[in-house]
């Protein structure tokens, strides 16, 4: 017990002084290995085995594919499709931003990447229409988080690897909650825009320009159809689908639209390297997770929570509150790796399907994207709009409420996540 207190103090101290998370976790893990006299080579062994799973290759490939589609002209065409489908109503550009983020989420798999791709085009347009700038940035930040819920999702891939849950089942489980949360975000945007009198200019909806935009954007619309259709049609695995997505983006950007230059390709590769550099967290966090099992941390947490309640709904709400608090200062990748092994046995023992818990975990991570000081999407949106992160943090609060409502629906109606996976693959055994 004394060792656990020492380790907790060291980890907390390193975090408070601003040490990078991988360093805080790594140094704490090395100290734990020293205290229990386990060779420190365990860290290297776990790091090697943690980075060797073939499905892990899916993450950099989807990041690269999303970036290539953005710079290759597919992102602008998706916005054109969304704009013509929505039409000119109160808050129409805000609704377009949410809708376009939902579409782009099926290409990028990343929340901050979706915010950057769509927000960089729609936030300036909303500013020109008289939207309050922090509100415009908040829409882009909140809608960008859909990139982690609507498949393909990098966070779902990590959760699937850590929990040994089927990644295709997780992808399918994200569809309906993703659409529901999208609807909540659009309703929130419309209500606020109507009260403030934002938007409403431009041409009303009509079929001719909508169909024309859909025809012009057929290659962009075809990307998620090819990727997800190939996975669920059995043509290829998620990893192979990611590779197909890269080649599709290269072909469309360079040959069809002719907007993908060598410079843009190099920048996309650089962006992918920076984004996937977060995988450096894998080695120390996986080792930390194994040590938590050695110290019986999952059993201790289970005993603590079940001593208070065994009501599955209350347990999930408590875990959700904990995840949201942790997400304010911890990267989502580390959050999933560290705490899935702690909480998954507890909730499975209470009858929660691992797939449902995966969707639940990803939604809490999305809320973490919108909460300072870390708030990945907040930082991206603030940089795009030129306002402070504090201003965006206040404006995003109604959208956080929309995500929390979606989280409660997942908790009380888990069938919402399980219907599609069970329809395609049958109930899990």
pLDDT tens-digit readout, 234-256: 888 888 888 998 999 999 999 99
Residue 277 structure tokens: 């550099």
Burial of residue 31, with CB atoms counted within 10 A of its CB: 0-12 exposed, 13-18 middle, 19 or more buried: middle
Mean pLDDT of 36-53: 75
- Smallest Cα–Cα separation from 337: which of 380, 293, 370? 293
More confident residue, 375 or 399: 399
The structural domains of the chain, with segments of one domain joined by +, span 1-38, 55-425
Q: Which pLDDT band holds residue 160 (cuts at 50, 70, 90)?
A: very high
Q: What is the pLDDT of residue 178?
A: 93
Mean pLDDT of 196-225: 78
Does position 198 have pLDDT exceeding 90, yes or no?
no
CA 26 – CA 286 distance, rounded (Å): 10
Q: Which pLDDT band holds residue 37 (cuts at 50, 70, 90)?
A: confident
Q: Is 375 helix (H, G, I), strand (E, B) or coil?
A: coil
Residue 56 structure tokens: 């892990």
Cβ-defined contacts of 400-403 (< 8 Å, 24+): 400/142, 400/367, 400/370, 400/371, 401/188, 402/142, 402/181, 402/184, 402/185, 402/187, 402/188, 403/142, 403/145, 403/181, 403/184, 403/363, 403/366, 403/367, 403/370
The whole-chain average pLDDT of the chain stands at 85
Mean pLDDT of 252-266: 92
23 and 334 Cβ atoms separated by less than 8 Å:
no
282 and 47 Cβ atoms separated by less than 8 Å:
yes
Cα 275 versus chain centre, distance: 13
- Whether the link from the prior residue into 428 is cis, omega within 30° of 0, is no
- Whether the link from the prior residue into 135 is cis, omega within 30° of 0, is no
Q: Which pLDDT band holds residue 406 (cuts at 50, 70, 90)?
A: very high
Q: What is the reported pTM?
A: 0.83
Q: Which pLDDT band holds residue 321 (cuts at 50, 70, 90)?
A: very high
Mean pLDDT of 21-42: 80
Q: What is the pLDDT of residue 350?
A: 92
Degrees to nearest 5, angle at CA 29 with 24 and 33: 155
Q: Going by C-beta distance under 8 Å and a sequence separation of 6 or more, which residues neighbour residue 428?
A: 166, 169, 353, 354, 355, 421, 422
Residue 125 structure tokens: 């347009």
- Beta-carbon count within 10 A of 80 CB: 20
- Beta-carbon count within 10 A of 390 CB: 12
pLDDT tens-place string over residues 358-373: 999 999 998 988 988 7
391 and 134 Cβ atoms separated by less than 8 Å:
yes
- Beta-carbon count within 10 A of 198 CB: 22
Q: Which pLDDT band holds residue 109 (cuts at 50, 70, 90)?
A: low
CA 153 – CA 149 distance, rounded (Å): 6
CA 32 – CA 17 distance, rounded (Å): 20
């Amino acid at each position: 017990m004394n060792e656990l207190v020492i380790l907790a103090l060291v980890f907390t101290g390193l975090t408070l002084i601003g040490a990078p998370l991988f360093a805080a976790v790594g140094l704490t893990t090395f100290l734990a290995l020293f205290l229990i006299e386990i060779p420190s080579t365990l860290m290297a062994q776990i790091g090697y085995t943690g980075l060797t799973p073939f499905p892990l290759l899916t993450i950099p490939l989807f990041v690269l594919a999303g970036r290539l589609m953005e710079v290759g002209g597919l992102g602008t065409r998706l916005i054109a499709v969304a704009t013509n489908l929505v039409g000119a109503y109160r808050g129409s550009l805000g609704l377009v931003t949410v809708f376009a983020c939902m579409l782009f989420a099926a290409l990028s798999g990343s929340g901050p990447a979706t915010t950057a791709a769509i927000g960089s085009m729609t936030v300036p347009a909303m500013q020109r229409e008289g939207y309050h700038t922090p509100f415009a940035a908040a829409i882009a930040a909140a809608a960008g988080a859909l990139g982690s819920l609507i498949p393909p999702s990098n966070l779902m891939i990590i959760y699937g690897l850590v929990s040994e849950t089927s990644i295709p089942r997780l992808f399918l489980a994200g569809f309906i909650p993703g659409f529901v949360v999208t609807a909540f975000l659009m309703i929130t945007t419309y209500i606020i825009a109507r009260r403030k009198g934002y938007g409403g200019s431009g041409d009303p909806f009509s079929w001719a320009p909508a169909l024309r935009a859909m025809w012009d954007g057929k290659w962009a619309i075809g990307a998620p159809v090819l990727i997800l259709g190939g996975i669920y049609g059995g043509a290829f695995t998620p990893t192979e689908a990611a590779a197909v997505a890269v080649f599709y983006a290269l072909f469309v950007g360079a040959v069809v639209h002719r907007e993908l230059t060598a410079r843009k390709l190099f920048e996309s590769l650089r962006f992918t390297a920076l984004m996937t550099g977060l995988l450096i967290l894998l080695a120390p966090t996986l080792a930390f997770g194994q040590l938590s099992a050695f110290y019986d941390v999952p059993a201790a947490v289970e005993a603590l929570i079940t001593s208070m309640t065994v009501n599955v709904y209350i347990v999930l709400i408590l875990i959700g509150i904990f995840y949201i608090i942790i997400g304010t200062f911890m990267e989502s990748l580390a959050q999933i790796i560290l705490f899935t092994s702690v909480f998954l046995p507890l909730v499975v023992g209470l009858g929660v399907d691992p797939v449902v818990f995966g969707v639940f975990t990803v939604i809490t991570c999305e809320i973490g994207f919108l909460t300072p000081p870390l708030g990945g999407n907040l930082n991206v949106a603030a940089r795009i709009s030129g306002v402070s992160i504090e201003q965006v943090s206040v404006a995003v609060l109604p959208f956080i409420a929309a995500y929390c409502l979606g989280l409660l629906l997942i908790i009380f109606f888990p069938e919402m996540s399980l219907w599609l996976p069970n329809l395609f693959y049958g109930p899990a055994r």
